[in-house]
Amino acid sequence: MRVAVGRGGSPAVFDACLGACVAAGVLAAAVAQVGPGVVEGARPVDAGAVALAAVTAAALAVRRRYPLAALVALDLVSLVWFACAYPGRLIVLAPLIGCYTLAALKGWRWGVAGAAPTALIEIIAIRVVLGDTETAGVVPIVVLLAATAGSAGAAVGYHRAVLAATRARLAREIRSREERARLLAAEERLRIARELHDVVGHAMATISVQAGVGLHVLGQRPGQAREALTAIKRISDDGLTDVKTILGILRADGPAGEEPRAPRSGLDRLADLIGTAEAGGLRVELDVAGDARPLPAPVDLAAYRIIQEALTNVLRHAGAHTVRMTLEHGPSRLLIRIRDDGATTAADVRGGHGIDGMRERALALSGRLTAAPHPDGGFEVCAVLPLRPGDGVPP
């Protein structure tokens, strides 16, 4: 576990400085003969005391990397220091730092395992110098100090673990939100691309048909050519209006608090759609079954776009003269069936994206769509759209 010691600081540098400071403090206390348990005739500070202080500094410098070994070394240094009767017994603080580090890095169980022998070693070491008469008063203090060091380390370790887990959870939540935002953006781009495809594809296909009619009759029937040009103008204006509305969703530059408006397309415009197809030379037979009623906006738009794409495919590919369209309003679903009398096969429309777009619209509403040649001739598109979310349509 990496332990931060502050901004711009390194744990290794901090531990090295801590070890040097503790060693210097222990030697200074020994020279001045201050600290607990100072007795008459104590051994003067010599090379042995300096060596023990150096071992203390080294153990504290590596306490994070080797916490158990560092604690063992500090306990042994304390034992030897007391056994050699060096004065200034502040050395007892060094093993407490080792207990704290072990508990902070490895948990409270390791803290207990380190604090118990540390307290015992401190009691034994003090007993060597102070004798039986003073050991009884020292025992509670030593036990309390070791327990406090281990408890403090365990608390700090638990806090760091909770903090690390919280940061990790926060990072996961941020990544999850970013991923959801990317998915929503991708879905929105796909929806807008599908709308543009339907609007522009239908408009261009109808304009192409009307332009062909106008060119064909321009010399012999100017009146019919004028009608074709008028239809082209109307279709172009409607298509541009829808495209402008769709692109306005991307810009979202309306007044504050105003939701971007979706293209105003639904089955209430079905008559205009049929009229455009008939102006292109098709005869559309419409059969409405069931009680027609207002549909949910997503279903209304999907139904209109599916019919629009189906009629566009008939105009572009089928070479048909008649289209039979059935709308069946059920209590929980809407059935759309469009069949032409042309010679279109599945291979004729396989290279485009129109049928895939229709199928995706149906699937987005938990519905289904089939598009294939009819056994009795022609090509048929059949879509079933549930009216309420969650009312899936069985395959």
- pLDDT at residue 210 above 80? no
List beta partners, residue 322.
283
CB count in 10 Å sphere of residue 322: 14
Report the range of poorest mean pLDDT among 77-81, 95-99, 251-255, 372-376: 251-255
Q: Please name the residues in contact with 149: beta carbons below 8 A apart, sequence gap of 6 or more.
A: 96, 97, 99, 100, 103, 115
Amino acid code (one letter) for 13: V
- How high is the pLDDT of residue 381? 92
pLDDT surpassing 60 at residue 280? yes
Other residues' Cβ atoms within 10 Å of the Cβ of residue 387: 18
In the predicted structure, residue 28 carries a pLDDT above the cut 50:
yes
Specify the range with the lowest mean pLDDT, choosing from 26-40, 128-142, 146-160, 288-302.
128-142
Q: Which of 224, 341, 363, 361 is nearest to 285 (CA)?
A: 341
Using 50, 70 and 90 to split pLDDT, how confident is the model at 42? low
Domain boundaries defined on the chain: 11-174, 268-395
pLDDT range class, residue 277, cuts 50, 70, 90: confident
The DSSP bridge pattern shows strands 283-290 and 322-329 to be parallel
For residue 274 the two structure tokens come to: 């049929």
pLDDT of 254 reads: 45
- Let me know: does 198 contact 301? Beta carbons within 8 Å: no
Contact assessment for residue 44 and residue 5, using Cβ atoms and an 8 Å cutoff: no
Give me the pLDDT at residue 103, please. Answer: 86
Instruction: Indicate if the pLDDT at residue 116 is higher than 60.
Output: yes
- The pLDDT-based confidence of 43 (bands split at 50, 70, 90) is confident
Nearest of 278, 277, 338, 285 to residue 307 by alpha carbon: 338
Multiple choice CATH, 268-395, 1.10.3720.10, 3.40.605.10, 3.40.50.300, 3.30.565.10 = 3.30.565.10
Could you tell me the CA-to-CA distances from 239 to 38, 80, 178, 279 in Å, in that order? 99, 94, 35, 16
- Average the pLDDT over each of 108-112, 219-223, 308-312 and give the range with the smallest value: 219-223
Distance between CA atoms of residues 277 and 232, nearest Å: 12
| Ranges of H-type helices in the chain | 11-32, 47-61, 67-83, 93-106, 108-130, 132-217, 222-251, 270-279, 297-313, 346-349, 354-364
Q: Write the DSSP string, 56-77.
A: HHHHHHTTTTSHHHHHHHHHHH
pLDDT band (50, 70, 90) for residue 336? very high
Rg (CA), the chain: 43
pLDDT at 349 over 70: no
- 290 forms beta bridges with 329
What is the rounded average pLDDT of the residues 9-26?
Answer: 85
- Is the pLDDT score of 214 beyond 60? yes
Q: Within a 10 A sphere around the Cβ of 383, how many other Cβ atoms?
A: 26
Q: Return the sign of the alpha-carbon dihedral for residues 198, 339, 314, 347.
A: positive
CA distance 180 to 163: 25
Q: Which of 280, 296, 294, 279 is nearest to 365 (CA)?
A: 296
- Lowest mean pLDDT: which of 180-189, 208-217, 282-291, 307-316? 208-217
Q: What letter does residue 6 receive in the DSSP assignment?
A: S
pLDDT of residue 45 exceeding 60, the answer is yes
Distances (CA, A) of 281 to 213, 321, 341, 369: 9, 7, 13, 26
Q: Average pLDDT, stretch 228-255?
A: 66
Could you give the 3-state DSSP secondary structure of residue 336?
A: strand
Q: What is the pLDDT of residues 63-103, one digit of tens each?
A: 889 988 888 888 888 888 877 878 777 788 888 888 888 88
Mean pLDDT of 247-257: 53
What is the average per-residue pLDDT within 353-371?
85
- The DSSP call for residue 393 is P
Q: What are phi and psi of 325, to 5 degrees?
A: -120, 130
